[in-house]
Structure 1
Amino acid sequence: MEPAESEMSILSNGKSHDLGDDISMPMKSLPEEDQFEDEGNVTECEEFLPNSEGKKPMRFTDFEGKTSFGMSVFNLGNAIMGSGILGLAYAMANTGILLFLFLLTAVAALSSYSIHLLLKSSGIVGIRAYEQLGFRAFGTPGKMAAGIAITLQNIGAMSSYLYIVKSELPLVIQAFLKADTPSGEWYLNGNYLVVLVSIGIILPLALMKQLGYLGYTSGFSLSCMVFFLISVIFKKFQIPCPFEDYSYNGTATLLNATSAGYHNGYVPAEDGSDCAPRMFTLNSQTAYTVPILAFAFVCHPEVLPIYTELRNPTKRKMQHVANISVLIMYTMYFLAALFGYLTFYGRVEPELLHTYSQIDPYDTLILCVRVAVLTAVTLTVPIVLFPVRRAIQQMLFPEKTFNWLRHIAIAVMLLIFINMLVIFAPNILGIFGIIGATSAPCLIFIFPAVFYIRIVSKEDEPMNSTPKILAACFAGLGVLFMTMSLSFIIIDWTTGSSNAGGH
């Protein structure tokens, strides 16, 4: 098995894997045109190797074909699972159960097919890194395109995590303080809190040279999402419909049409029909469904590193790992969306946890879920930041060795940009929508297909062969999804019809 050409990714988290910013690993044997060691990489190797004398060998050598099948399923499943699960109930509310199930099934199946294309392409050239496939297919432009897409995807993931902090942390503090009404104290302002969390927790962890123990938070993050799913299912059978809003003095009052949380002109029907599930729905917010689903299934930059770590790796075995991981996440996603929707119906918000505060802000179970999810997403942000910083350094400073000043400056600028995005973004739906409509289709549909078409030689598979025709159609489908999603989202913004997510 050929090892990865550059950094070996070994740590799984909500969306990213990375060993560190300063570790590179040369290919054992590749054709001359596949070598990707520019002057900067050679310099890093020359500087790195002497410093390793007399020390324990670097850990990437421990991950060559030593991960079991089951653990690989866990790692890839954890790479798929992310904050997107919080928006799926809202997606179902704006498509209906049957249409949502069809779209979810289609995106999951297409995601598995794109993994097949990645595995087949990597098997031909012996490359185990997404960016390097882009370089092999199209040279530096291909590498830059893949790096930019991965950077945007991870910035979107970090933004969604911090938006959860902005949205949920004030509610947690308010519940602990038993505040009678939301007041104007600074510690109940989400904008202040997200900045404090970024400075006090995320930034110190992001300044570490290597991830180290932070990789273990991936398991905790996945456990939190399982706890979230179990709680959503349990609360479905506790919350009645029509809904009751437990005011701060403990008295229950029926929500009226002007209560916070009603979106898209939704008004409760007096005959109770608003408590009946809809099988098929189309409205202005339906355009966000495919981007939300695409955002929730992006794991493709992590597929090749996990393939490298797999014990006795074969394409068939790794495809089984991918299929099982996608199936497990598909099941969790559908259950979370279904029970979240059947709890709140048309009143569900883009961030599902926030909807529960409209029912009972002091609910102990939901409070525990909030604390667990907040902890998970806060600790995941610095992990996701590592590969983004590495991609930026490779794109902007490919010939530079590790430098602490640049290492710190990139982390600070990234956090400033993401905080500004979170503070000024009207809701998490916009983050899910834009990232899901741009970088996600590139990583899932377009890049795997065009890399496959370019890498597989015409002698092996002519352009008119069935596999390449399917790959071309697959890329075209990705372009269609991207164009339609962006068009509908822009129309929704310009017409001012979107009031979703206002908290």
Structure 2
Amino acid sequence: MGFDQGKAGEDTPLLGKGRPLSSQFKTFANVFIAIVGAGVLGLPYAFKRTGWLMGVLTLLSVAALINHSMMLLVHIRRKLGVADIGSFGDLGFAVCGPLGRFVVDILIILSQAGFCVGYLIFIGTSLANLSTNHQNVSMSHLMSVSPKSLYIWGCFPFQLGLNSIKTLTHLAPLSIFADVVDLGAMAVVIVEDVKITVEQRPDVVAFGGMSVFFYGMGVALYAFEGVGMVLPLESEMKDKDKFGKVLALSMLFIAVVYGAFGVLGYMAFGEETMDIITANLGGGVVSSLVQLGLCINLFFTFPLMMNPVFEIVERRFWRGVYCVWLRWLLVLAVTLVALLVPNFADFLSLVGSSVCCALGFVLPALFHLMVFKDELGWKQRALDAGMVLLGLVLAVSGTWSSLSEIFN
């Protein structure tokens, strides 16, 4: 099916080479680490837009669909029986040849770069909210640059240095720090949300209307994006027959955590809920430490998330050889996009609707339909075709909705 044309390499090394033969618990933890990220901080705002009940139903639906898509990729690799399929890009090459790899490469570039744009937006917005130095604010306005833009530009030279490192081995341990900070931040925010909800009880709505349905789907897809991780995770598991069960339990647990975080955040602040929920916590010491910790976390996670982009671009345009100016150009492009996007949650919805729909719904179902075309019954064919159609509809409608919000 195209895989014999050449040996596939790892195009999307989103996971480092971990210890082989992971236990069920370790696989559960790895799935959690692979999926949970900064996108959770935009869920309360998304729930304000969609309504808390619609938001919960959307999260559960997306979790179930993403879980199904991940298992489709696992089934495809097992069917092909090619040991060299270690990534989504490898699978695309095995099914569709160079075209399949090219499409997956483009989507990986857009998704990973999109995550990094979101990181810079979060850092700039959070530091601007925390800033109490009126002299700096006045200086930024005097220079016709907003505080948010000033902080984003401030990150730029340091990111050039970090992203110039050829190997990220020394930065990899920071991913553990990132996960600890994420969990700590979520715990602090949930505790504060409960206190505020009990004291204030602002008005909330359950359904925001169908006009914002696609917007909510985009944010949920961004929050659950991790389809590219499933093949390395399944490869590392000792008892592969139980991988499907472990994956399903992991996705259910994450959906419950996401739902609780989104609902509590919205119920605490109601219509005052901001696009980054930590901005609602005020300027207390605990809140400031949480926001600073998240900013540091995302600052050092940025080069890790850009690494797959660098590998793909250098392979395609520089014969796979390290090229510092290409990396700098990509960092500049990501920074410029971050400066142009005004709202964190709106951008999450845009990336989720446009790129994550294709990676999470369209390609897994399409590849499955192509590989198993001679074995599927009409129900399974209809399910795969329905997933492709759903992904395309969500991509077009969600992208339009998100762009409308950004430009308005």
Pairwise CA distance, 1:5: 4.4
Return the alpha-carbon distance in structure 2 between the equivalents of residues 487 and 99 of structure 1.
20
Corresponding position: 1:488 with 2:401: yes
Pairwise CA distance, 1:109: 0.4
Map of 1:466 onto structure 2: 379
Map of 1:269 onto structure 2: none
Corresponding position: 1:111 with 2:66: yes
Return the alpha-carbon distance in structure 1 between the equivalents of residues 28 and 117 of structure 2.
26
Pairwise CA distance, 1:152: 0.6
Change (3 A) 1:283 1:101: same
Map of 2:389 onto structure 1: 476
Pairwise CA distance, 1:283: 7.5
Tell me which moved more, 185-194 or 95-104: 185-194
Pairwise CA distance, 1:116: 1.2
Choose which of 207, 227, 241 in structure 1 pairs with 2:184: 227
Secondary structure of the corresponding residue to residue 94 of structure 1: helix
Map of 1:328 onto structure 2: 253
Q: Write the deviation string for residues 287-308 of structure 1: whole angstroms up to 9, x where unpaired.
A: 4211000011110111111222
Q: Write the deviation string for residues 158-213 of structure 1: whole angstroms up to 9, x where unpaired.
A: 00011111111233342xxxx4698313498222222222312x332222222213
Secondary structure of the corresponding residue to residue 166 of structure 2: coil
- 8 Å CA contact 2:181, 2:294 repeated in 1: yes
Pairwise CA distance, 1:153: 0.6
Q: Write the deviation string for residues 252-294 of structure 1: whole angstroms up to 9, x where unpaired.
A: xxxxxxxxxxxxxxxxxxxxxx922221122865542110000
Map of 1:402 onto structure 2: 321
Q: Write the deviation string for residues 132-157 of structure 1: whole angstroms up to 9, x where unpaired.
A: 11112222111111111111111110
RMSD: 2.5
Map of 1:37 onto structure 2: none
Choose which of 141, 157, 160 in structure 2 pairs with 1:203: 160
Pairwise CA distance, 1:415: 0.9
Secondary structure of the corresponding residue to residue 368 of structure 1: helix
Instruction: Give the alignment of 1:304-453 within 5 angstroms.
Output: 304-312=231-239, 314=240, 316-356=241-281, 360-361=282-283, 363-397=284-318, 400-403=319-322, 406=323, 408-453=324-369
Map of 1:146 onto structure 2: 104
Corresponding position: 1:168 with 2:126: yes
Q: Which residue type is aligned with residue 25 of structure 2?
A: G
Change (3 A) 1:401 1:131: closer
Return the alpha-carbon distance in structure 2 between the equivalents of residues 490 and 323 of structure 1.
32
Pairwise CA distance, 1:478: 0.9
Secondary structure of the corresponding residue to residue 397 of structure 2: helix
Change (3 A) 1:282 1:430: same
Return the alpha-carbon distance in structure 2 between the equivalents of residues 490 and 159 of structure 1.
15
Q: Please give the TM-score of this superposition, normalised by the length of structure 1.
A: 0.73
Pairwise CA distance, 1:467: 2.4
Q: Which residue type is aligned with residue 185 of structure 1?
A: M
- 8 Å CA contact 1:85, 1:296 repeated in 2: yes
Pairwise CA distance, 1:372: 1.3
- 8 Å CA contact 2:32, 2:254 repeated in 1: yes
Choose which of 169, 183, 191 in structure 1 pairs with 2:137: 183
- 8 Å CA contact 1:229, 1:332 repeated in 2: no
Pairwise CA distance, 1:416: 0.3
Q: Write the deviation string for residues 48-105 of structure 1: whole angstroms up to 9, x where unpaired.
A: xxxxxxxxxxxx5x74x33332222222211111221011001111121221111111
Return the alpha-carbon distance in structure 1 between the equivalents of residues 237 and 197 of structure 2.
47
Secondary structure of the corresponding residue to residue 130 of structure 2: helix
Q: Which residue type is aligned with residue 398 of structure 2?
A: S
The structure with the largest helix share of the pair is 2
| Runs of 5+ consecutive residues of structure 1 not aligned to the other structure | 11-15, 20-59, 244-273, 499-503
Map of 2:42 onto structure 1: 87
Return the alpha-carbon distance in structure 1 between the equivalents of residues 320 and 191 of structure 2.
52
Return the alpha-carbon distance in structure 2 between the equivalents of residues 393 and 180 of structure 1.
43
Q: Which residue type is aligned with residue 288 of structure 2?
A: L
Change (3 A) 1:440 1:465: same
Map of 2:3 onto structure 1: none
Moved >6 Å (runs of 4+): 240-243
Pairwise CA distance, 1:492: 4.7
Return the alpha-carbon distance in structure 1 between the equivalents of residues 299 and 216 of structure 2.
26
Return the alpha-carbon distance in structure 1 between the equivalents of residues 215 and 46 of structure 2.
7
Map of 2:172 onto structure 1: 215
Larger radius of gyration: 1
- 8 Å CA contact 2:265, 2:277 repeated in 1: yes
Pairwise CA distance, 1:380: 0.6
Secondary structure of the corresponding residue to residue 205 of structure 2: coil
Q: Which residue type is aligned with residue 9 of structure 2?
A: S
- 8 Å CA contact 2:8, 2:93 repeated in 1: no
Q: Give the percent of matched residue pairs that are identical in Structure 1 and Structure 2.
A: 21
| Runs of 5+ consecutive residues of structure 2 not aligned to the other structure | 1-6
Q: Which residue type is aligned with residue 402 of structure 1?
A: V
Map of 1:303 onto structure 2: 230
Pairwise CA distance, 1:475: 1.2
